[in-house]
Structure 1
């Protein structure tokens, strides 16, 4: 959390670009096209919410995840099968939500950055009764601004609330909901092709086409090959409920249920994604539109404990999960 705040790492792309051993591939600004992450030469496909393995679609657009809603984001390179029951040779990414605390605390942040970027962040929580058995936390963000790409405008907001009830030190019941919305206007889904092959004529003797490879090095980083009317609108709703019971300080049983609805609507028009040679008045053009919705549920039940055996501390985890 401290590193995310100090370096202003707002989304998953920012975080993983600062994580050693992780390669981030993205085609456009965060939230427009989904990025791909690689570790140890393999694509990263193992994602978790508070340790519960979920399908990547349960997160919505991964690049859209607002880091301010989470206490931390854990990255384990290599297989995590010993602790999660299912491993991945690349890496595992665990989104750990913010939780209520017994003491009241709050924070309000106002930020202003390059390209007219403006953002407000609010975080408050604490106990609701004197016995401190009922605790709450509320987190909200709102922002809008431009991008390093010309003509791109984006606006977003996120709200997260969580309530925890612990009648004693053995039972904990937690419910919460996360809402995220983002709209980006004027952004392409892909940049221009650096290398293009164009037809410059025909052989007068054979009639065969004469083609030339163009290396387009002069396009500035701010060049936007997308249409002004392009937009990408996304919304994610995630609700969860968890129950944890401690039989002893070393043995516990936990059950967690997550439900997600992710909606995306987009319209785009890009030039030059497959070929771009302005000196020859040549460029490819593509456009598209879509309306997508995903509904998903995930359930995870497991027990874990620690005990002494052969003069060594042992740990056992037994569980079942499905989505």
Structure 2
């Protein structure tokens, strides 16, 4: 696998575009896109007249870009039905384009840190896990199409420049997600071409020599507006508060829509992103020494040598064909292909420092060259529309999907040659490694196919039902690190049921029951694979439209549990370990959210979560996840000076802890609050400047306690941005 690095002297955006040329089928759009800005006023009128032939793009028809809103009126992540937040019988949160722009949320980690009920476990600088309701989030979608994630984590930083909004549905989501954990589903909604010409250029400078440039061009590509395109390009080059860490990121997204007929819409798109990170962490800082004393390093301390790197290149292509069938029905087929190449050279500290000297012995150091190739195909075909029955109108969706994910990995190792000095004195200098042959066969494939259906049922004047089911077939084979991945599950049924009662015109009570399954590779005493883990979620609550319909409020009480989790059941005479199914983790709690415009010019998104997590014996489990969390973002544009906008973001959690794997005791992180401030000013209709200051109180905190290792979050830092829009 190649180790891609930028040509010296190129700025980040030039590097991004130059690297992407030749990789994407829509590169020609880079030449065609400027035509969108050359449309005459008469051509704009022609485009406007074509609005009546636009095929409804399901959830994509709700665009948050340009609205300054912190809410979205429709969502389809949970069921693929177009439902308002009140009609969705689960907890839903959306981070809109306005929130991303206001607070410079340039990566998925930034976005999910702003999402109620979600924690971002930054275990390393370039690998991240997410949790909700006590479980790891394993389910992701792009434009409503599920994206399998083999290891429940994200490699590198996923840039948000191409997204209109990001929706998160908490709880079990097996209806649309297939297999996974009963935590949440994260749905990334991409930007699409616009009927009117528009363009923007945005430049950002920040702490630690951060430089970022974004370009976004969109509009019609022909005189009639029947063909439309969009190009988004972004480049980043930055150092870090962490010693030696340096990042370069390039992004290019191109998409073309074409009205083949008045009722047929064809869409082609491709995204390319390249993350190049030098002196990144594999693992992180030890949290205690051999005597069990907590370590307390400077925030800049890093265990990464100067020769380490982790580069991730991602290419994602898709094609959609949507056909309107009469006035009330549509048929949509989507094919998407993902190619991800990961290339890294890393050092891992496998022990804790000596209590008297602070040194780490060479025998406890792992040096690895790790390469990975993940290839995925996902195909979905579904029909959606309205039906009349029993004198009432109902909404129905029927579909089928298929996916294949092949994960190939190569791990090479080198013996360490010398001890590490105390990490807070180390400058990253360590002998260059040399590597031999791979130690394991790492090639595994997962195939999953399913049929699904869901309906929104108008039961009575105040009663609405949402019901559905998915039937899945799952097959895995191959090996990873010497362990067989072979398992299969046939005809697994995951039901979905919800009931909504309108108490008033503006408030509704709801209850829901949802499931999800997770296949297992463990076998029982007869040699049969255990049945899949069964994730179940129950939720009751109230939702309301508030502030004259400008905001959505909700309060939910939930219970989530896993059944049939593999438990050790001894060994066979040949030494083979065997397992039996048993109860797993259970989480309970409640949450309250508010999102939208609460007064003229005042946007807010606020969420509070309380959580309890226990194992089958009633003991606290997953204690690295906070039990109390607040996520809040707000901005205000005063009527007397509407060129000015000010805002703040708060992320608070209570204290967390986790039992150590050695030396006894627990690792602990006190409760902390992170406060970010922003201000922007419109110098004209086209030019806006903004300033963001993050962690204004300069709080020192650990980014996660999921492992025995962690590192410290960023100290106070700033970003200054200048944006021009047409």
Contact 2:155 2:312 in 1 (8 A): no
For the residues of structure 2 that align with 1:131 and 1:2, how far apart are their CA atoms?
Answer: 30
Other structure's SS at 1:3 match: helix
The C-alpha deviation readout for 1:154-206, integer Å capped at 9, x for no partner, is 11101010010013441100001111101100111222111222xxxxxxxxx
Contact 1:216 1:277 in 2 (8 A): no
Q: Name the stretch that deviates more: 226-235 or 304-313.
A: 304-313
Contact 1:56 1:62 in 2 (8 A): no
In structure 1, the partner of 2:384 is 304
In structure 1, the partner of 2:142 is 49
For the residues of structure 2 that align with 1:248 and 1:85, how far apart are their CA atoms?
Answer: 29
**Distance of aligned partners of 1:106 and 1:26 in 2 relative to their CA distance in 1, 3 Å threshold:** same
Of 157, 170, 173, 2:266 maps to: 173
The C-alpha deviation readout for 1:271-323, integer Å capped at 9, x for no partner, is 4x531246424324322111211111110001111233345432211101111
For the residues of structure 2 that align with 1:136 and 1:320, how far apart are their CA atoms?
Answer: 29
Q: Name the stretch that deviates more: 257-266 or 86-95.
A: 86-95
For the residues of structure 2 that align with 1:47 and 1:85, how far apart are their CA atoms?
Answer: 8
Contact 1:139 1:161 in 2 (8 A): yes
In structure 1, the partner of 2:239 is 146
Contact 1:12 1:62 in 2 (8 A): no
In structure 2, the partner of 1:204 is none
Contact 2:208 2:238 in 1 (8 A): yes
Taking structure 1 as the reference length, what is the TM-score of the superposition? 0.88
Backbone CA RMSD of aligned residues? 2.0
Q: Do structure 1's residue 93 and structure 2's residue 189 form an aligned pair?
A: no
In structure 2, the partner of 1:127 is 220
In structure 2, the partner of 1:38 is 131
Other structure's SS at 1:68 match: coil
How far is 1:62 from its partner?
5.5
Contact 2:238 2:248 in 1 (8 A): yes
Q: Which stretches in structure 2 are left out of the alignment for 5+ residues?
A: 1-96, 404-726
Of 252, 271, 286, 2:366 maps to: 286
For the residues of structure 2 that align with 1:128 and 1:25, how far apart are their CA atoms?
Answer: 43
Q: Name the stretch that deviates more: 285-294 or 66-75.
A: 285-294
**Distance of aligned partners of 1:268 and 1:63 in 2 relative to their CA distance in 1, 3 Å threshold:** closer
In structure 2, the partner of 1:214 is 293
Taking structure 2 as the reference length, what is the TM-score of the superposition? 0.40
Matches within 5 A, 1:1-323: 1-29=97-125, 32-33=126-127, 35-56=128-149, 61=154, 63-81=156-174, 84=176, 86=178, 89-197=182-290, 212-217=291-296, 219-271=297-349, 274-277=351-354, 279-283=356-360, 284-323=364-403
For the residues of structure 2 that align with 1:277 and 1:154, how far apart are their CA atoms?
Answer: 32
Contact 1:227 1:270 in 2 (8 A): no
The C-alpha deviation readout for 1:201-221, integer Å capped at 9, x for no partner, is xxxxxxxxxxx222212x012
For the residues of structure 2 that align with 1:106 and 1:279, how far apart are their CA atoms?
Answer: 60
Other structure's SS at 2:224 match: coil
How far is 1:78 from its partner?
1.5
Contact 2:138 2:152 in 1 (8 A): no
Contact 2:146 2:177 in 1 (8 A): no
For the residues of structure 2 that align with 1:62 and 1:288, how far apart are their CA atoms?
Answer: 17
Q: Which stretches in structure 1 are left out of the alignment for 5+ residues?
A: 198-211
**Distance of aligned partners of 1:166 and 1:60 in 2 relative to their CA distance in 1, 3 Å threshold:** farther
The C-alpha deviation readout for 1:235-268, integer Å capped at 9, x for no partner, is 0111110001111332111000001110011001
In structure 2, the partner of 1:205 is none
How far is 1:63 from its partner?
4.9
Count, aligned residues? 303
Structure with larger Rg = 2
For the residues of structure 1 that align with 2:120 and 2:152, how far apart are their CA atoms?
Answer: 18
Other structure's SS at 1:13 match: helix
**Distance of aligned partners of 1:47 and 1:85 in 2 relative to their CA distance in 1, 3 Å threshold:** closer
How far is 1:233 from its partner?
0.9
For the residues of structure 1 that align with 2:105 and 2:212, how far apart are their CA atoms?
Answer: 13
**Distance of aligned partners of 1:193 and 1:72 in 2 relative to their CA distance in 1, 3 Å threshold:** same
